[in-house]
Every structure is written in structure tokens, then in C-alpha cells.
A and B are shown apart, each in its own frame.
Chain A
Amino acid sequence: TAGITQAPTSQILAAGRSMTLRCTQDMRHNAMYWYRQDLGLGLRLIHYSNTAGTTGKGEVPDGYSVSRANTDDFPLTLASAVPSQTSVYFCASSDGTGDADTQYFGPGTRLTVL
């Protein structure tokens, strides 16, 4: 089982350009998340999705958009990248049911905006 895959592994992007970070899970999890992690800091939630067809804003949603057309995929789009969006982006998923929940993380995408 692959778990969660992210693509690309890394990317250098010119400011003002758009980009979509891809995330796919094969665990049939209901919930999915996008985090960003800046050097030396913890993870900050960008957007999340409880189930296919629904999305919500996290702690730092500005400049990002997401969609959840099906259970497996949760792409993150930067419409017009800015240097402050240089970060490592992690996608995660969880079952989303029950009282206690565990998140499973992908390997991350390292994005540099110049």
C-alpha cells in the first residue's frame, strides 16, 4: 500500500506563476489536509476536507485553494505564487471517524518561489 503520495517532490517557481501540488491517498480515508512547514517551525494547517465534496479553511488559507472531487485526491493550488509561499508542503489524511483520529502524512513537496 502506497499510503499518501505527493507530486512533485520539489519545485522552483517564479513569482506570479500558478502551480498545483498533487496529493493522492489509497487508504479510502474520509479526511484530508494540507499543511505548510517553514524552516524550524511546526506545521500550519492550510485547508482541510472532511469528506469528498467539502473543504474548509485552516490556520493559513490565504493564497491557496483546494478541491475534493473524489475521496482519493486533494490538490492544492497556488493561483499566483509569492516568495512567502516558499515552504515544505505536507498532505495528510485520516479516517475522520470515531473519537480519536490519526493522521498519515505524505513525503512532502519542497516549493521555492523566486
Chain B
Amino acid sequence: LAKTTQPISMDSYEGQEVNITCSHNNIATNDYITWYQQFPSQGPRFIIQGYKTKVTNEVASLFIPADRKSSTLSLPRVSLSDTAVYYCLVGFNTGGFKTIFGAGTRLFVKA
């Protein structure tokens, strides 16, 4: 299972774009990259997933360079409600035991 490295914490202000980069040097050919968001006292929630290049949905964008050894989660125009912990996971569907959650990145959005 590929290990990931993310910044422990980040601060931002409302309305700014936030980019959180995750390193996964040992990513395997079949691995997908998935990001989750966790608010206090709640379980993690899926944000976005990708394999290569760029993926965009209504919440975020995910940028993956050609070598796939890192990925960047981009949150456009954050608000106070985006304050949460963001986890980067790398894994492949092996029938149920796939990925390891690290400590994540604690994003704090200020007014």
C-alpha cells in the first residue's frame, strides 16, 4: 500500500483558492488517488477521485502530474465551512482492504 505525505495544517482566508499537495512516491500502476473531507464529530466524506491528469467536480479539482508521484487538491473560493481535515489516499480495489488514512491536512479558514 502506497504511503502518502501531506502538510499537517494549512490556514487560509475566505474567498481564497486553497491547494493541498499530497506526495505518493510509491504509487503503483493500478492505484487511484482519492481525497476525503472530515468535519469534527463526523465520519470522512468522499470529495474527489482520479487516476491521471485533471478531474473536476462541483466541489473541487484534482491535479495529477504525468508521473503520478503527487497530486493536488484545489478548493476554489473557500468559505468558513470548508474548515476540516482533508485526507489523501492511494490505493486499488483489492476486494475490500485497499487504503490507509494518514493524519491528513487540517485546513483552517479564517474570516
Contacts and interface: CB of A to CB of B under 8 A. Distances in A.
Interface residues of A, number: 34
Contact of A43 (B30, B95, B97, B101): B101
B108 interface: no
- Name the residue in A56, A58, A98, A103 with the highest tally of chain B Cβ atoms < 10 Å from its Cβ: A103
Contacts of A99: 30, 32, 92-93
Contact of A42 (B49, B87, B91): B87
A50 interface: yes
Chain B at the A interface: mostly helix, strand, loop or mixed? loop
A58 B93 contact: no
Bin chain B's interface residue count. Answer: 20 to 34
A62 interface: no
A49 interface: yes
B25 to A, nearest CB: 19
10 nearest CB pairs, A to B? A105-B43, A50-B96, A31-B96, A43-B101, A100-B32, A42-B101, A42-B103, A50-B95, A101-B93, A90-B43
Interface of B: 30, 32, 34, 36, 41-46, 49, 51, 87, 91-93, 95-98, 100-104
5 contacts: A96-B96, A98-B93, A99-B32, A103-B44, A106-B43
